[in-house]
Amino acid sequence: VKIYGYGTMQKVGWGENLPKNIFLEWRKWCMSKNYYRDCLKDILKTEKFYNIKVPYTAVYTSDDYIANDKTVHLMTKFFPNASVKILKIETKKYSSLKVGHTGIFRKQFHNTLWPELVRIIEE
């Protein structure tokens, strides 16, 4: 950001580049103990996470270095009144390639991981 004036996401293979302010906010979320929860609490001037009561499914891959066993479970605790189902996709069952944090959405996995995502969504 200091050199280019924006988040160089394309250079690291993470999609489109991000405007400086968005990148810095995203970085703040990632560096915070409670991730985006503290930032939303500051913006909303209240904590409404307990009002969320809809069931949801948290899905992550076994080789994700950001959403992992520790962080996914921590983030699901943000919504104490919601019914949460946590699913870890064991990537080695589907591919010998590294998937990581955002790789599951790459076209190269459309015949391997995407059908599993569709199955989870339709379940």
Residue 111 is assigned to a structural domain of this protein:
yes
Structural domain count, the chain: 1
Residue 31 pLDDT grade (very low, low, confident, very high; cuts 50, 70, 90): confident
For 59-118, the pLDDT digits (tens) are 999 999 889 999 899 888 888 899 999 999 999 999 999 999 889 999 999 999 999 999
Token pair for residue 64? 């994700």
- List, in order, residues 6 or more apart from 106 with CB less than 8 Å away: none
As a whole number of angstroms, the distance between CA 49 and CA 27 comes to 21
- Residue 53: exposed, middle, or buried by beta-carbon count in 10 A (0-12, 13-18, 19+)? exposed
Give the C-alpha separation, 20 to 110, whole Å: 32
Q: Which two tokens stand for residue 61?
A: 């891959």
Domain that holds residue 58: 49-122
Residues 6+ apart with CB under 8 A from 14: 102
The distance of Cα 7 from the centroid of its chain, to the nearest Å, equals 18
pLDDT in tens, 34-46: 777 777 777 777 7
Residue 84 lies inside a defined structural domain of this protein: yes
